[in-house]
Amino acid sequence: MNVLNEMKLEFLSRSANEALARSAVSQMAAQLDPTLEELGDIKTSVSEAVTNAVVHAYPDRLGVVHLKARILEGGILEVTVRDRGIGIEDVEEARAALFTTGGEERSGMGFTIMESFMDKLKVRSAPGRGTTVVMRKRVMPRLLR
């Protein structure tokens, strides 16, 4: 699949940078002329992925979060959020609704939300090496809406 445009961003795992990531990806997605609903789904999914990296990957220290957004042919937005944090022991368990390692103030719905708002979600992780989340969403051309 041909890449039509791409951007990369690295930032510290501070919660304030979640808004930066959401904004950067929404600006990239705007090139596809999404509906407000599509844009909201994308922004929410990016927020969840980045928040997971901030809260779970680096629970006791600052680390770096790597964000990449690509526009692929066919109106597809691909977003990758990667960290080099503590990793996930069991990815399937972590993807289950209501599962969390973040204490009772966390809902455990991050991966569930990403999966429901995006067309495709892939999660790769290794304990002690970090996690990579890849999400894709196809934005329908206006003529077909």
Provide the 10 A C-beta neighbour count for residue 87. Answer: 17
**Catalytic annotation, pick one of 17, 18, 38, 52:** 52
**Catalytic annotation, pick one of 17, 48, 70, 82:** 48
Task: Using alpha carbons, select from 114, 123, 139 the residue that is nearest to residue 44.
Answer: 114
**Catalytic annotation, pick one of 106, 124, 136, 138:** 106
- Spatial CB neighbours of 73, under 8 Å, sequence gap ≥ 6: 1, 2, 4
**Segment (H or E) for 94:** helix 91-95
Give catalytic status of residue 145 as yes or no. no
Give catalytic status of residue 5 as yes or no. no
Question: What's the DSSP call for residue 127?
Answer: T
Please identify every residue annotated as catalytic: 48, 52, 106
